[in-house]
A and B are shown apart, each in its own frame.
Chain A
Amino acid sequence: MFENTRPRRDVAIIGTGCTKFGELWDKSLRDLVVEAGVKAVEDAGIYGKELQLVVGGNMSGGLFIGQEHTGALFADYLGLNHVPSIRAEAACASSSVALRIGYIAVASGLYDYVAIGGAEKMTDVYGPHATTALASAMDQETEAYCGSTFPGVYALMAKRHMHEYGTTREQMAKVAVKNHENALHNPIAHFQRKITVEDVISSQLVADPLRLLDCSPISDGAAAVILAPADLAKKHTDSPVYIKASAQASDSLSLFSRRDICTLDATLFAAKHAYEQAKLTPKDIHVAEVHDCFTISELIAYEDLGLCKKGEGGKFMESGQTLLGGNIPINTSGGLKAKGHPVGATGVAQVIELVQQLTGKAGKRQVSGAEIGLAHNVGGSGATVAIHILSNKI
Protein backbone atom coordinates (compact mmCIF):
# COMPACT_ATOMS: atom_id res chain seq x y z
CA MET A 1 0.00 0.00 0.00
CA PHE A 2 3.02 2.28 0.38
CA GLU A 3 4.67 1.77 -3.01
CA ASN A 4 2.47 4.17 -4.91
CA THR A 5 3.77 7.47 -3.58
CA ARG A 6 5.60 9.43 -6.28
CA PRO A 7 6.77 12.89 -5.26
CA ARG A 8 6.82 15.20 -8.28
CA ARG A 9 9.58 17.43 -6.93
CA ASP A 10 12.04 17.66 -4.06
CA VAL A 11 11.18 19.69 -0.98
CA ALA A 12 13.53 21.78 1.18
CA ILE A 13 13.37 23.38 4.60
CA ILE A 14 14.52 26.99 4.17
CA GLY A 15 13.95 28.40 7.64
CA THR A 16 13.33 27.34 11.23
CA GLY A 17 12.12 28.95 14.46
CA CYS A 18 11.59 27.59 17.93
CA THR A 19 10.63 28.99 21.32
CA LYS A 20 12.21 27.98 24.60
CA PHE A 21 10.53 24.83 25.95
CA GLY A 22 9.40 24.73 29.57
CA GLU A 23 6.85 26.13 31.98
CA LEU A 24 6.33 29.43 30.19
CA TRP A 25 3.81 31.11 32.48
CA ASP A 26 4.08 34.48 30.74
CA LYS A 27 3.15 33.14 27.30
CA SER A 28 -0.14 31.91 25.84
CA LEU A 29 -0.56 29.40 22.99
CA ARG A 30 -0.93 32.19 20.45
CA ASP A 31 2.13 34.04 21.83
CA LEU A 32 4.22 30.89 21.39
CA VAL A 33 3.00 30.33 17.82
CA VAL A 34 3.78 33.90 16.82
CA GLU A 35 7.27 33.76 18.34
CA ALA A 36 8.21 30.52 16.54
CA GLY A 37 6.50 31.54 13.29
CA VAL A 38 8.16 34.95 13.04
CA LYS A 39 11.58 33.44 13.77
CA ALA A 40 11.07 30.88 10.98
CA VAL A 41 9.94 33.48 8.43
CA GLU A 42 12.90 35.75 9.30
CA ASP A 43 15.29 32.80 9.11
CA ALA A 44 13.92 31.89 5.66
CA GLY A 45 14.26 35.49 4.47
CA ILE A 46 10.78 35.58 2.98
CA TYR A 47 7.72 37.76 3.54
CA GLY A 48 4.58 36.49 5.19
CA LYS A 49 2.62 37.44 2.07
CA GLU A 50 4.59 34.83 0.11
CA LEU A 51 3.16 32.02 2.26
CA GLN A 52 0.38 30.09 0.55
CA LEU A 53 -0.57 27.54 3.20
CA VAL A 54 -0.23 27.10 6.96
CA VAL A 55 -0.38 23.67 8.63
CA GLY A 56 -0.17 23.65 12.42
CA GLY A 57 0.13 20.65 14.71
CA ASN A 58 -1.79 20.93 17.95
CA MET A 59 -2.85 17.93 19.98
CA SER A 60 -5.45 19.26 22.30
CA GLY A 61 -6.10 22.97 22.46
CA GLY A 62 -9.58 21.87 23.53
CA LEU A 63 -8.53 20.06 26.69
CA PHE A 64 -5.45 22.12 27.58
CA ILE A 65 -6.83 25.64 27.09
CA GLY A 66 -10.46 25.12 26.02
CA GLN A 67 -9.62 26.34 22.52
CA GLU A 68 -10.35 24.37 19.37
CA HIS A 69 -10.17 25.77 15.84
CA THR A 70 -6.49 26.46 16.38
CA GLY A 71 -5.69 26.28 12.66
CA ALA A 72 -7.47 29.55 12.01
CA LEU A 73 -6.19 31.00 15.30
CA PHE A 74 -2.56 30.40 14.30
CA ALA A 75 -2.98 32.09 10.90
CA ASP A 76 -4.92 34.96 12.49
CA TYR A 77 -2.28 35.88 15.08
CA LEU A 78 0.55 35.34 12.58
CA GLY A 79 -1.11 38.11 10.54
CA LEU A 80 -1.74 35.69 7.69
CA ASN A 81 -5.46 36.12 7.09
CA HIS A 82 -6.76 34.85 4.58
CA VAL A 83 -4.19 32.15 3.90
CA PRO A 84 -5.73 28.67 4.25
CA SER A 85 -4.69 27.15 7.57
CA ILE A 86 -5.09 23.52 8.61
CA ARG A 87 -4.74 22.06 12.09
CA ALA A 88 -3.16 18.61 12.10
CA GLU A 89 -3.90 16.34 15.05
CA ALA A 90 -2.29 12.98 15.74
CA ALA A 91 -1.69 13.23 19.51
CA CYS A 92 2.07 13.64 20.18
CA ALA A 93 2.80 13.19 16.46
CA SER A 94 0.61 16.15 15.46
CA SER A 95 3.32 18.38 14.05
CA SER A 96 5.14 15.59 12.18
CA VAL A 97 1.86 14.93 10.48
CA ALA A 98 1.57 18.69 9.82
CA LEU A 99 5.03 18.57 8.24
CA ARG A 100 3.98 15.60 6.14
CA ILE A 101 0.87 17.44 4.92
CA GLY A 102 3.09 20.40 4.00
CA TYR A 103 5.56 18.08 2.28
CA ILE A 104 2.73 16.56 0.22
CA ALA A 105 1.48 20.06 -0.66
CA VAL A 106 4.88 21.18 -1.97
CA ALA A 107 6.04 17.82 -3.44
CA SER A 108 2.82 17.55 -5.43
CA GLY A 109 3.40 20.97 -6.98
CA LEU A 110 0.25 22.51 -5.55
CA TYR A 111 2.04 25.09 -3.35
CA ASP A 112 5.52 26.63 -3.26
CA TYR A 113 5.84 28.27 0.16
CA VAL A 114 4.25 26.54 3.14
CA ALA A 115 4.58 27.36 6.86
CA ILE A 116 4.55 24.34 9.16
CA GLY A 117 4.20 24.72 12.88
CA GLY A 118 3.43 22.89 16.04
CA ALA A 119 2.47 24.20 19.45
CA GLU A 120 1.09 23.14 22.78
CA LYS A 121 0.27 25.08 25.93
CA MET A 122 0.12 22.45 28.67
CA THR A 123 0.67 24.34 31.93
CA ASP A 124 -2.52 26.43 31.94
CA VAL A 125 -4.29 23.50 33.67
CA TYR A 126 -3.39 21.59 36.84
CA GLY A 127 -1.58 18.24 36.79
CA PRO A 128 -4.54 15.81 36.97
CA HIS A 129 -6.30 17.69 34.17
CA ALA A 130 -3.15 17.52 32.00
CA THR A 131 -2.94 13.78 32.76
CA THR A 132 -6.54 13.37 31.57
CA ALA A 133 -5.83 15.45 28.43
CA LEU A 134 -2.80 13.31 27.54
CA ALA A 135 -4.81 10.15 28.22
CA SER A 136 -7.17 11.22 25.43
CA ALA A 137 -4.49 9.92 23.01
CA MET A 138 -5.38 6.38 24.06
CA ASP A 139 -8.65 4.46 23.71
CA GLN A 140 -11.28 6.10 25.92
CA GLU A 141 -13.68 3.13 25.87
CA THR A 142 -11.16 0.58 27.15
CA GLU A 143 -7.81 1.92 28.35
CA ALA A 144 -9.03 5.14 29.94
CA TYR A 145 -12.24 3.47 31.18
CA CYS A 146 -10.37 1.05 33.42
CA GLY A 147 -8.19 3.78 34.92
CA SER A 148 -5.02 3.45 32.89
CA THR A 149 -2.89 6.53 32.31
CA PHE A 150 -0.54 7.41 29.48
CA PRO A 151 2.57 6.44 31.52
CA GLY A 152 0.60 3.32 32.48
CA VAL A 153 0.35 2.19 28.84
CA TYR A 154 4.10 2.60 28.29
CA ALA A 155 4.70 0.85 31.62
CA LEU A 156 2.87 -2.19 30.21
CA MET A 157 5.34 -2.19 27.30
CA ALA A 158 8.30 -1.78 29.65
CA LYS A 159 7.24 -4.59 31.97
CA ARG A 160 6.77 -7.01 29.05
CA HIS A 161 10.04 -5.91 27.40
CA MET A 162 11.88 -6.62 30.65
CA HIS A 163 10.15 -10.02 30.86
CA GLU A 164 10.78 -11.09 27.26
CA TYR A 165 14.23 -9.65 26.64
CA GLY A 166 15.74 -9.12 30.07
CA THR A 167 15.88 -5.35 29.63
CA THR A 168 16.99 -3.84 32.93
CA ARG A 169 15.94 -0.93 35.10
CA GLU A 170 19.42 0.58 34.71
CA GLN A 171 19.36 0.34 30.90
CA MET A 172 16.16 2.40 30.82
CA ALA A 173 17.62 4.90 33.30
CA LYS A 174 20.63 5.42 31.04
CA VAL A 175 18.37 6.88 28.34
CA ALA A 176 17.26 9.63 30.73
CA VAL A 177 20.84 10.26 31.89
CA LYS A 178 22.07 10.58 28.28
CA ASN A 179 19.27 12.89 27.21
CA HIS A 180 19.68 15.16 30.23
CA GLU A 181 23.42 15.31 29.48
CA ASN A 182 22.70 16.38 25.87
CA ALA A 183 20.19 19.01 26.99
CA LEU A 184 22.90 20.74 29.04
CA HIS A 185 24.13 22.13 25.72
CA ASN A 186 20.72 23.05 24.31
CA PRO A 187 19.63 26.58 25.21
CA ILE A 188 15.94 25.90 24.46
CA ALA A 189 15.74 22.77 26.65
CA HIS A 190 13.21 22.53 29.47
CA PHE A 191 15.82 20.98 31.78
CA GLN A 192 19.47 21.89 31.99
CA ARG A 193 20.28 19.58 34.84
CA LYS A 194 22.57 16.57 34.91
CA ILE A 195 21.07 13.46 36.46
CA THR A 196 22.47 10.04 37.42
CA VAL A 197 21.19 6.48 37.07
CA GLU A 198 20.71 6.52 40.84
CA ASP A 199 18.51 9.66 40.58
CA VAL A 200 16.28 7.92 38.03
CA ILE A 201 15.86 4.63 39.88
CA SER A 202 15.17 6.35 43.19
CA SER A 203 12.69 8.90 41.79
CA GLN A 204 8.98 8.62 42.57
CA LEU A 205 7.14 5.65 41.01
CA VAL A 206 4.51 6.79 38.51
CA ALA A 207 3.42 3.47 36.93
CA ASP A 208 5.69 0.51 37.76
CA PRO A 209 8.37 0.13 36.49
CA LEU A 210 8.36 3.73 35.21
CA ARG A 211 9.43 6.47 37.61
CA LEU A 212 9.20 10.24 37.41
CA LEU A 213 12.62 10.58 35.73
CA ASP A 214 11.65 8.00 33.09
CA CYS A 215 8.92 10.39 31.91
CA SER A 216 9.11 13.41 29.62
CA PRO A 217 7.81 16.58 31.29
CA ILE A 218 4.70 18.65 30.71
CA SER A 219 6.03 21.60 28.72
CA ASP A 220 4.89 24.63 26.78
CA GLY A 221 6.47 25.46 23.45
CA ALA A 222 6.16 26.00 19.73
CA ALA A 223 8.28 25.24 16.67
CA ALA A 224 7.98 26.23 13.01
CA VAL A 225 9.68 25.56 9.67
CA ILE A 226 9.21 27.01 6.19
CA LEU A 227 9.06 24.64 3.21
CA ALA A 228 9.84 25.43 -0.40
CA PRO A 229 10.51 23.43 -3.56
CA ALA A 230 14.21 22.50 -3.80
CA ASP A 231 14.73 24.55 -6.96
CA LEU A 232 13.68 27.75 -5.14
CA ALA A 233 15.50 26.97 -1.88
CA LYS A 234 18.90 28.44 -2.82
CA LYS A 235 17.23 31.82 -3.45
CA HIS A 236 16.59 32.00 0.28
CA THR A 237 19.42 30.18 2.01
CA ASP A 238 22.93 28.90 1.33
CA SER A 239 22.25 25.83 3.42
CA PRO A 240 18.85 24.31 2.66
CA VAL A 241 18.06 20.94 4.17
CA TYR A 242 16.17 18.52 1.96
CA ILE A 243 13.37 16.18 2.97
CA LYS A 244 14.53 12.87 1.52
CA ALA A 245 11.63 10.87 2.95
CA SER A 246 8.30 11.54 4.63
CA ALA A 247 6.49 8.44 5.84
CA GLN A 248 3.63 7.68 8.17
CA ALA A 249 1.81 4.57 9.38
CA SER A 250 -1.12 3.75 11.65
CA ASP A 251 -1.95 0.98 14.13
CA SER A 252 -4.59 0.11 16.73
CA LEU A 253 -5.38 2.95 19.10
CA SER A 254 -5.26 0.56 22.08
CA LEU A 255 -2.00 -1.14 23.01
CA PHE A 256 -3.57 -4.49 23.91
CA SER A 257 -5.02 -4.88 20.37
CA ARG A 258 -1.58 -4.87 18.72
CA ARG A 259 0.34 -7.80 17.29
CA ASP A 260 3.19 -7.30 19.79
CA ILE A 261 3.24 -4.79 22.66
CA CYS A 262 7.07 -4.63 22.62
CA THR A 263 7.15 -3.45 18.99
CA LEU A 264 5.58 -0.43 17.37
CA ASP A 265 4.46 -1.94 14.06
CA ALA A 266 3.69 1.58 12.83
CA THR A 267 7.39 2.38 13.28
CA LEU A 268 8.34 -0.75 11.30
CA PHE A 269 6.07 0.22 8.41
CA ALA A 270 6.92 3.94 8.39
CA ALA A 271 10.66 3.17 8.66
CA LYS A 272 10.56 0.68 5.79
CA HIS A 273 8.78 3.21 3.62
CA ALA A 274 11.13 6.03 4.66
CA TYR A 275 14.32 4.05 4.01
CA GLU A 276 12.96 2.98 0.60
CA GLN A 277 12.02 6.54 -0.35
CA ALA A 278 15.42 7.89 0.65
CA LYS A 279 17.22 4.84 -0.79
CA LEU A 280 19.08 4.49 2.50
CA THR A 281 19.52 1.91 5.25
CA PRO A 282 19.70 2.39 9.03
CA LYS A 283 23.52 2.30 8.75
CA ASP A 284 23.47 5.47 6.62
CA ILE A 285 21.89 7.62 9.37
CA HIS A 286 24.38 9.95 11.10
CA VAL A 287 22.11 11.45 13.76
CA ALA A 288 18.53 10.84 14.88
CA GLU A 289 15.85 12.32 17.05
CA VAL A 290 13.59 9.51 18.29
CA HIS A 291 10.42 9.62 20.34
CA ASP A 292 11.50 9.19 23.98
CA CYS A 293 8.28 10.19 25.75
CA PHE A 294 9.36 7.52 28.26
CA THR A 295 12.78 5.91 28.54
CA ILE A 296 11.45 2.54 27.31
CA SER A 297 10.17 4.23 24.13
CA GLU A 298 13.70 5.17 23.07
CA LEU A 299 14.94 1.59 23.53
CA ILE A 300 12.03 0.21 21.49
CA ALA A 301 12.67 2.88 18.81
CA TYR A 302 16.32 1.72 18.44
CA GLU A 303 14.99 -1.77 17.66
CA ASP A 304 12.10 -0.82 15.42
CA LEU A 305 14.17 1.65 13.37
CA GLY A 306 16.65 -1.15 12.69
CA LEU A 307 19.55 0.39 14.62
CA CYS A 308 19.91 -2.85 16.61
CA LYS A 309 18.23 -6.27 16.78
CA LYS A 310 14.79 -6.77 18.37
CA GLY A 311 15.14 -7.06 22.13
CA GLU A 312 18.63 -5.56 22.23
CA GLY A 313 17.66 -1.91 22.73
CA GLY A 314 18.91 -1.96 26.33
CA LYS A 315 22.28 -3.41 25.34
CA PHE A 316 22.53 -0.94 22.46
CA MET A 317 22.05 1.91 24.96
CA GLU A 318 24.75 0.42 27.21
CA SER A 319 27.17 0.13 24.27
CA GLY A 320 27.44 3.92 24.19
CA GLN A 321 26.85 4.14 20.44
CA THR A 322 23.94 6.54 20.88
CA LEU A 323 25.88 9.01 23.05
CA LEU A 324 27.27 12.25 21.61
CA GLY A 325 30.54 11.04 20.07
CA GLY A 326 29.15 7.55 19.44
CA ASN A 327 28.44 5.94 16.04
CA ILE A 328 24.90 7.25 15.89
CA PRO A 329 24.12 9.96 18.44
CA ILE A 330 20.42 9.88 19.36
CA ASN A 331 18.44 12.77 20.78
CA THR A 332 21.29 15.26 20.74
CA SER A 333 18.68 17.94 21.55
CA GLY A 334 17.95 16.28 24.89
CA GLY A 335 14.95 14.49 23.40
CA LEU A 336 11.44 14.74 24.70
CA LYS A 337 12.82 13.71 28.09
CA ALA A 338 15.02 16.74 28.72
CA LYS A 339 14.40 19.23 25.90
CA GLY A 340 10.73 18.98 26.86
CA HIS A 341 7.58 17.65 25.25
CA PRO A 342 4.98 20.26 24.32
CA VAL A 343 3.14 17.50 22.51
CA GLY A 344 1.90 19.39 19.44
CA ALA A 345 5.32 21.03 18.90
CA THR A 346 7.53 17.98 19.32
CA GLY A 347 7.66 16.64 15.75
CA VAL A 348 8.73 19.93 14.19
CA ALA A 349 11.15 20.59 17.07
CA GLN A 350 12.85 17.23 16.33
CA VAL A 351 13.24 18.28 12.70
CA ILE A 352 14.70 21.66 13.75
CA GLU A 353 17.37 19.88 15.80
CA LEU A 354 18.26 17.84 12.70
CA VAL A 355 18.42 20.99 10.54
CA GLN A 356 20.86 22.50 13.07
CA GLN A 357 22.95 19.32 13.01
CA LEU A 358 22.99 19.08 9.21
CA THR A 359 23.93 22.74 8.79
CA GLY A 360 26.68 22.60 11.42
CA LYS A 361 24.89 24.94 13.82
CA ALA A 362 24.38 22.63 16.79
CA GLY A 363 27.19 24.12 18.89
CA LYS A 364 28.48 21.80 21.59
CA ARG A 365 25.94 19.19 20.50
CA GLN A 366 27.33 19.09 16.95
CA VAL A 367 27.79 15.65 15.41
CA SER A 368 30.81 16.21 13.19
CA GLY A 369 30.20 15.63 9.50
CA ALA A 370 26.49 14.88 9.93
CA GLU A 371 24.83 14.77 6.51
CA ILE A 372 21.79 12.55 7.04
CA GLY A 373 19.35 12.70 9.95
CA LEU A 374 16.18 10.85 10.90
CA ALA A 375 13.25 12.10 12.98
CA HIS A 376 10.85 9.57 14.53
CA ASN A 377 7.67 10.87 16.13
CA VAL A 378 5.00 8.72 17.82
CA GLY A 379 1.36 9.57 18.48
CA GLY A 380 -0.24 7.94 21.52
CA SER A 381 1.28 4.57 22.32
CA GLY A 382 2.09 3.95 18.65
CA ALA A 383 -1.19 4.32 16.77
CA THR A 384 0.49 6.99 14.61
CA VAL A 385 4.16 7.07 13.67
CA ALA A 386 5.69 9.64 11.33
CA ILE A 387 9.28 9.45 10.14
CA HIS A 388 11.23 12.06 8.18
CA ILE A 389 14.71 11.64 6.76
CA LEU A 390 16.63 14.84 6.04
CA SER A 391 19.87 15.53 4.21
CA ASN A 392 22.01 18.60 3.53
CA LYS A 393 22.58 17.22 0.00
CA ILE A 394 19.91 16.93 -2.63
Chain B
Amino acid sequence: MQEYAVPFHWRKFKERYNLIGSRCTHCGKPFYPKRSICPSCRRAGKMEDAKLSGKGKIFSYTVIRVPPSGFKIYAPYVVAIIELDDGCKLVSQVVDVDPEKVEIGMAVKTCFRKIREDNSSGLILYGFKFKPDIGKMA
Protein backbone atom coordinates (compact mmCIF):
# COMPACT_ATOMS: atom_id res chain seq x y z
CA MET B 1 0.00 0.00 0.00
CA GLN B 2 1.11 3.55 -0.68
CA GLU B 3 2.33 5.65 2.27
CA TYR B 4 0.13 8.61 3.20
CA ALA B 5 0.38 11.66 5.46
CA VAL B 6 -1.27 11.54 8.88
CA PRO B 7 -4.69 13.07 7.94
CA PHE B 8 -5.46 10.17 5.57
CA HIS B 9 -5.49 7.86 8.58
CA TRP B 10 -6.50 10.33 11.32
CA ARG B 11 -9.90 11.04 9.81
CA LYS B 12 -10.69 7.32 9.92
CA PHE B 13 -9.63 6.65 13.53
CA LYS B 14 -13.18 6.71 14.93
CA GLU B 15 -14.48 4.29 12.29
CA ARG B 16 -11.53 1.94 12.40
CA TYR B 17 -10.94 1.83 16.15
CA ASN B 18 -14.61 1.45 17.10
CA LEU B 19 -16.00 -0.27 14.00
CA ILE B 20 -18.47 2.46 13.19
CA GLY B 21 -20.35 2.21 9.91
CA SER B 22 -23.60 3.71 8.62
CA ARG B 23 -27.22 2.65 8.71
CA CYS B 24 -29.94 3.94 6.39
CA THR B 25 -32.87 5.24 8.43
CA HIS B 26 -35.18 4.50 5.49
CA CYS B 27 -34.40 0.83 4.67
CA GLY B 28 -32.40 -0.06 7.78
CA LYS B 29 -29.48 -1.51 5.84
CA PRO B 30 -26.04 -1.25 7.49
CA PHE B 31 -22.79 -0.42 5.68
CA TYR B 32 -19.10 -0.57 6.42
CA PRO B 33 -17.17 1.61 5.72
CA LYS B 34 -19.39 4.66 6.15
CA ARG B 35 -21.37 6.01 3.22
CA SER B 36 -23.37 9.21 3.10
CA ILE B 37 -25.81 8.02 0.38
CA CYS B 38 -27.76 4.75 0.62
CA PRO B 39 -27.34 2.95 -2.75
CA SER B 40 -30.93 1.62 -2.52
CA CYS B 41 -32.84 4.64 -1.17
CA ARG B 42 -30.52 7.42 -2.31
CA ARG B 43 -32.04 10.79 -1.30
CA ALA B 44 -35.16 9.16 0.21
CA GLY B 45 -32.93 7.80 2.96
CA LYS B 46 -30.75 9.39 5.58
CA MET B 47 -27.59 7.79 6.89
CA GLU B 48 -26.69 7.73 10.56
CA ASP B 49 -23.64 6.34 12.30
CA ALA B 50 -24.00 2.73 13.42
CA LYS B 51 -21.76 0.92 15.87
CA LEU B 52 -21.33 -2.58 14.47
CA SER B 53 -21.19 -5.69 16.67
CA GLY B 54 -17.81 -6.89 15.46
CA LYS B 55 -19.06 -10.48 15.47
CA GLY B 56 -19.69 -12.61 12.43
CA LYS B 57 -18.64 -15.49 10.23
CA ILE B 58 -16.00 -15.98 7.55
CA PHE B 59 -17.70 -15.71 4.15
CA SER B 60 -14.55 -16.29 2.07
CA TYR B 61 -10.82 -16.15 2.75
CA THR B 62 -7.37 -16.35 1.23
CA VAL B 63 -3.83 -16.62 2.54
CA ILE B 64 -1.64 -13.83 1.19
CA ARG B 65 1.79 -15.35 0.37
CA VAL B 66 3.14 -12.50 -1.77
CA PRO B 67 2.43 -9.37 0.28
CA PRO B 68 2.34 -5.74 -0.83
CA SER B 69 4.90 -3.27 0.53
CA GLY B 70 4.54 -2.72 4.28
CA PHE B 71 3.14 -6.19 5.02
CA LYS B 72 6.18 -8.41 4.41
CA ILE B 73 6.80 -9.25 8.08
CA TYR B 74 3.25 -10.57 8.52
CA ALA B 75 3.19 -12.97 5.53
CA PRO B 76 1.70 -15.48 5.18
CA TYR B 77 -1.49 -13.98 6.62
CA VAL B 78 -5.22 -14.56 6.21
CA VAL B 79 -7.45 -11.96 4.53
CA ALA B 80 -11.16 -12.70 4.72
CA ILE B 81 -14.55 -11.29 3.86
CA ILE B 82 -16.53 -11.38 7.10
CA GLU B 83 -20.32 -11.47 7.17
CA LEU B 84 -21.20 -9.53 10.31
CA ASP B 85 -24.18 -10.47 12.47
CA ASP B 86 -25.39 -6.91 11.80
CA GLY B 87 -26.05 -7.85 8.17
CA CYS B 88 -23.19 -6.32 6.22
CA LYS B 89 -19.84 -7.60 5.02
CA LEU B 90 -16.33 -6.21 5.35
CA VAL B 91 -12.76 -7.26 4.62
CA SER B 92 -10.12 -7.84 7.29
CA GLN B 93 -7.18 -9.96 8.33
CA VAL B 94 -7.94 -12.96 10.53
CA VAL B 95 -5.28 -13.58 13.19
CA ASP B 96 -4.53 -15.79 16.21
CA VAL B 97 -5.20 -18.89 14.13
CA ASP B 98 -3.16 -21.27 11.97
CA PRO B 99 -4.01 -20.26 8.36
CA GLU B 100 -4.51 -23.95 7.55
CA LYS B 101 -7.31 -24.18 10.16
CA VAL B 102 -9.37 -21.28 8.76
CA GLU B 103 -12.60 -22.24 7.02
CA ILE B 104 -15.71 -20.66 5.53
CA GLY B 105 -18.40 -20.31 8.23
CA MET B 106 -15.90 -20.00 11.12
CA ALA B 107 -17.19 -17.68 13.89
CA VAL B 108 -14.95 -14.65 14.39
CA LYS B 109 -14.90 -11.40 16.35
CA THR B 110 -12.90 -8.19 16.19
CA CYS B 111 -9.69 -7.44 18.03
CA PHE B 112 -7.64 -4.23 18.06
CA ARG B 113 -4.25 -4.70 16.40
CA LYS B 114 -1.33 -3.03 14.72
CA ILE B 115 -1.92 -3.01 10.95
CA ARG B 116 1.52 -1.97 9.73
CA GLU B 117 4.39 0.50 10.05
CA ASP B 118 5.18 2.98 7.32
CA ASN B 119 8.86 2.87 6.49
CA SER B 120 9.66 6.49 5.79
CA SER B 121 7.42 8.35 8.25
CA GLY B 122 7.62 5.84 11.09
CA LEU B 123 3.83 6.09 11.42
CA ILE B 124 2.36 3.04 13.16
CA LEU B 125 -1.14 2.21 11.94
CA TYR B 126 -3.73 0.44 14.05
CA GLY B 127 -7.20 -0.89 13.40
CA PHE B 128 -9.34 -4.00 13.70
CA LYS B 129 -8.51 -7.52 12.70
CA PHE B 130 -10.66 -10.57 13.42
CA LYS B 131 -9.85 -13.66 15.48
CA PRO B 132 -11.73 -16.90 16.11
CA ASP B 133 -14.72 -16.42 18.45
CA ILE B 134 -13.89 -19.33 20.74
CA GLY B 135 -17.19 -19.11 22.65
CA LYS B 136 -19.12 -19.65 19.41
CA MET B 137 -17.03 -22.50 18.05
CA ALA B 138 -18.29 -26.04 18.23
Contact = CB atoms under 8 A, between A and B. Distances in A.
Interface in B20-39: 31, 33
B66 interface: yes
A227 B46 CA distance: 46
B68 interface: yes
Given A155-B62, A156-B61, A128 B81 contact: no
B60 interface: yes
Interface in A124-169: 128-129, 131-132, 135-136, 140-149, 151-152, 155-157, 159-160, 163
B60 A206 contact: no
Nearest to B89: A256
B64 A255 contact: no
Determine the interface band of chain A, counting residues with CB < 8 A from chain B.
Answer: 35 or more
Contacts of A163: 60, 104
A147 B81 contact: no
B61 A140 contact: no
B12 interface: yes
A208 interface: yes
Contact of A208 (B59, B65, B104): B65
A159 B104 contact: yes
A128 B1 contact: no
A39 B95 CA distance: 53
A254 interface: yes
A156 B81 contact: yes
Contact of A152 (B2, B62, B70): B62
Contacts of B60: 156-157, 159-160, 163, 261
Nearest to B105: A163
Interface string B102-124: 00100000000001100000000
B19 interface: no
A60 to B, nearest CB: 11
B68 A254 contact: no
Contacts of B77: 147
A207 interface: yes
B71 interface: yes
B66 to A, nearest CB: 5
B115 A147 contact: yes
Residue from B33, B69, B91, B115 with most neighbouring chain A CB atoms (10 Å): B91
Interface string A197-225: 00000001111111000000000000000
Interface in A162-199: 163
A142 B92 CA distance: 8
Residue from A144, A147, A257 with most neighbouring chain B CB atoms (10 Å): A147
B69 A146 contact: no
A157 B60 CA distance: 8
Interface in A82-141: 128-129, 131-132, 135-136, 140-141
B71 to A, nearest CB: 4
A156 B79 CA distance: 8
Interface in A44-75: none
B1 A132 contact: yes
A128 B69 contact: yes
Interface string B46-75: 000000000000011111111111110010
B97 interface: no
A353 B81 CA distance: 36
Contacts of B115: 145-147
Contacts of A135: 1, 68
Contacts of A157: 60
A132 B104 contact: no
Contacts of B71: 147
Contacts of B132: none
Interface of B: 1-2, 12, 31, 33, 59-71, 74, 77, 79-81, 89-93, 99, 104, 115-116, 127, 129
14 contacts: A131-B66, A132-B2, A132-B68, A142-B90, A146-B91, A147-B1, A147-B68, A147-B70, A147-B93, A156-B80, A160-B60, A204-B65, A256-B89, A261-B59
